[in-house]
Structure 1
Amino acid sequence: MGEKMLMKGNEAIAEAAIQAGCRFFFGYPITPQNQIPEYMSKRLPKIEGGCFLQAESEVAAINMVYGAAGAGARVMTSSSSPGISLKQEGISYIVGAELPCVIVNMVRGGPGLGSIQPAQSDYYQSTRGGGHGDYRMLVLAPSSVQEAVELTQEAFDLADKYRNPVLIMGDGLIGQMMEPVEMPERKEKTDLPEKTWAATGWTPDCGRERAIINSLYIDPAVLEKHVNKLYAKYAVMEQTECRWQEEMTDDADYVIVAYGTTARIARSAMRKLRDEGIKAGLIRPITLWPFPAAPIAKAAEHAKAFLTVEMSMGQMVDDVKLAVDGKKPVHFFGRTGGIVPTVREIITQVENLAKEGK
């Protein structure tokens, strides 16, 4: 690890990507992620093989990502909620063609143009697939700038490992806050598969088959076989890539489930509730997909109730309910429109549950 530097979240993500070997960035400006393309526009042209290009639209940007990924490059794009919506068709193509890339979404309030303030209301879009067809993406949700750095770097390895896009989902606060970070020294991973599938040029005597990057399958039986192959890959992701953090859940009567910035606020609330004598705990999903259902199901064996806290009208709460499977009550508290829930609001919610014996 290097020396600590005070960095804004967006800029730290951009530098982490470069350190992870990202040499191509295609994007388009939108608040609150603008510092990512700004930083890339300054850094990438100074690096050998580096290419920054501001596309004419988000649609153009994601198709440029498709091209670079198809040639085997480490490539990233970033945007915020409405821009990610525009990229969805291209994301579905990239998944269908089994191409690795990293996509960053700094979520802002919606629907529509909404606000430029932080939100978590893209959870459905991110975890259920905002584009067409049957597909999944690994979705990583950092709760600090340091974790954003580490997850961004790991995202490139995961994308290459599974030949699939990886989405970094942060809220606007993660992108805009400044925190001390250490940029990990990156060592090239030797256990990643060689990109023999990449379209890097072909001649009849080169000793390998011609690479074809494609997501079109006219024959229904062939397409079904392809989708089944993709889902076998997703099953491996579910078994091996699910990540979460637990705090004080062993004896918790009330388990708070929150991710990203909201989890930091919930953690403070949990500690103050403990000071009041209320046994609160916290489960923080780090992967939003695959969702960490197992620790929630385990906590449901002894907890009295769950409280899901989100910067939305309630989206992740559906996954929490599925994990609890009706064994205990699952309550929800959320703020939306770009408003961030406070520690006091979360404390009050749990205090009321304790008073009512729920």
Structure 2
Amino acid sequence: MKGNEVIGEAAVYAGCRYFFGYPITPQSELVAYMAKRLPEVGGCFLQAESEISAINMVYGAASAGVRVMTSSSSPGFSLKQEGISYLAGAELPAVIVNIARGGPGLGNIQPSQADYFQVTKGGGHGDYYTPVLAPSSLQEIVSLTREAFRIADEYRTPVILLGDGMLGQMMEPVEFEDEKPLPKVREKKWATTGTKGDGPPKTITSLDLNDTQLEIRNNTLQQKYAAIKEKEVRVDEYLLDDAAYAIVAYGTVARIARTAIDRARKKGIAVGLIRPVSLWPFPATIISEYSSVLKAILTVEMSAGQMIEDVRLAVEGKAPVFFYGRTGGVIPTVDEILQQIDRLTEEVAI
């Protein structure tokens, strides 16, 4: 299957029955797939007139307690930011997919990781965060899409599934676990489905004109984010037991880096890979622990350097941190990363 289609089918398996979106390359196949698939399972697909409309439809559906998803790509995702802030403020569960493309501005339709700041630092206005999961393969999309809906429901929060144009457009074999029952949507007593005369009316809002009450609400959100940071960190480690050096990379870039690491190992260079799977919460503690025994760390991104800021904060000066990035939709190659590994070892030796 194509990556965008895998996301759609994985969402259906996860119990998602509502999708509101707007086409933009390179994620348009996801919109098209949901348009066909959801009616087959009794769900609702609606192509909105804009990204802004789509995210507000998500807000309405989430208020009713259903599992709901939307998707976009970089500039379209930017248009959803106000709505995502509203979802966070109202504590509404939803999954938002960003298949990132080259930028800034309209850019191009090639893959990019330059949306890292936007998705991990809140993106919209206010003191909020969204959990961010970054798969590196289509099979991993299946499990992480399920996890995205679980996290959204468990913590009443919007969750972002972040990929790039390469992940969305590539084709790989995938398996869906038919033998497992579909996860049930937990009872949401807060949902605006009517009280049938039992109790006061239910309301969903992010508005609070009382500054003291709004501060209490904000503090409650921060407590929730602290719990997410404690329980929902995900990281993949590769050949780190004896590593003198490590590459930090995520998503599709991590796959390229892994091949470069295998080649470096054949040359006798002890290098491993730290792949953040959750970009927020970021695996800072794990990176910090490894940095105490590593000679140097190389961060590789399809950007001008964004995740490297979180890596440096995690390292806390315990090891030198180097960077290699390509932008504008250019994908770093195995040979380029291997050259950077060689340069890394030479500079550290000096």
TM surpasses 0.5: yes
Tell me what 2:246 maps to. Answer: 255
Deviation string 1:60-112 (CA, Å, 9 cap, x unpaired) is 00000000000001100000000100000000001100000000000001000
Q: Distance in 1 between matches of 2:205 and 2:226?
A: 22
Q: Is the 8 A contact 1:250 1:299 kept in 2?
A: no
Among 289, 304, 307, the residue aligned to 2:295: 304
Q: Is the 8 A contact 1:72 1:199 kept in 2?
A: yes
Paired residues in the alignment total 348
Cα offset, 1:188, TM superposition: 4.4
Q: Is residue 101 of structure 2 the alignment partner of residue 78 of structure 1?
A: no
Q: Distance in 2 between matches of 1:253 and 1:310?
A: 21
Tell me what 2:137 maps to. Answer: 144
Q: For 2:69, give the aligned amino acid.
A: M
Cα offset, 1:193, TM superposition: 5.0
Q: Distance in 2 between matches of 1:59 and 1:357?
A: 49
Q: Is residue 194 of structure 2 the alignment partner of residue 201 of structure 1?
A: yes
Tell me what 1:4 maps to. Answer: none
Q: Distance in 1 between matches of 2:104 and 2:84?
A: 20
**1:61-76 map, 5 Å:** 61-76=54-69
Q: Is residue 147 of structure 2 the alignment partner of residue 154 of structure 1?
A: yes
Structure 1's unaligned 5+ residue stretches are 1-6
Tell me what 2:315 maps to. Answer: 324
Among 82, 100, 118, the residue aligned to 1:125: 118
Q: For 1:212, give the aligned amino acid.
A: T
Q: Distance in 2 between matches of 1:356 and 1:63?
A: 51
Tell me what 2:161 maps to. Answer: 168
The structure 1 segments of at least 4 consecutive aligned residues displaced by more than 6 Å after TM superposition are none
Tell me what 1:57 maps to. Answer: 50
Cα offset, 1:298, TM superposition: 1.1
Deviation string 1:194-215 (CA, Å, 9 cap, x unpaired) is 20000012332xx233211010
Q: Distance in 2 between matches of 1:357 and 1:332?
A: 14
Cα offset, 1:356, TM superposition: 2.5
Q: Distance in 2 between matches of 1:203 and 1:153?
A: 32
Among 241, 244, 262, the residue aligned to 2:232: 241
Structure 2's unaligned 5+ residue stretches are none
Q: Is the 8 A contact 2:85 2:124 kept in 1?
A: yes
Tell me what 2:83 maps to. Answer: 90
The percent identity for this pair of structures is: 61
Deviation string 1:251-287 (CA, Å, 9 cap, x unpaired) is 2111100000000000001111111011111000000
Tell me what 2:170 maps to. Answer: 177
Q: For 2:55, give the aligned amino acid.
A: I
Tell me what 1:3 maps to. Answer: none
Deviates more, 1:28-37 or 1:246-255: 246-255
Q: Is residue 7 of structure 2 the alignment partner of residue 13 of structure 1?
A: yes
Deviation string 1:200-244 (CA, Å, 9 cap, x unpaired) is 12332xx23321101001011101100100110111100100000
Q: For 2:289, give the aligned amino acid.
A: K
Cα offset, 1:44, TM superposition: 1.0
Q: Distance in 2 between matches of 1:125 and 1:278?
A: 35
Q: Distance in 1 between matches of 2:295 and 2:199?
A: 60
Q: Distance in 2 between matches of 1:200 and 1:302?
A: 55
Q: Distance in 2 between matches of 1:8 and 1:235?
A: 36
Tell me what 1:315 maps to. Answer: 306
Secondary structure at the residue paired with 2:82? helix
Q: For 2:143, give the aligned amino acid.
A: E
Tell me what 1:267 maps to. Answer: 258
Q: For 1:19, give the aligned amino acid.
A: Y
Among 46, 49, 52, the residue aligned to 2:40: 46
Q: Distance in 1 between matches of 2:84 and 2:63?
A: 13
Q: For 2:279, give the aligned amino acid.
A: L
- Coordinate RMSD, CA, aligned: 1.1
Cα offset, 1:46, TM superposition: 2.2
Tell me what 2:21 maps to. Answer: 27
Deviates more, 1:151-160 or 1:76-85: 151-160
Q: Distance in 2 between matches of 1:84 and 1:209?
A: 36
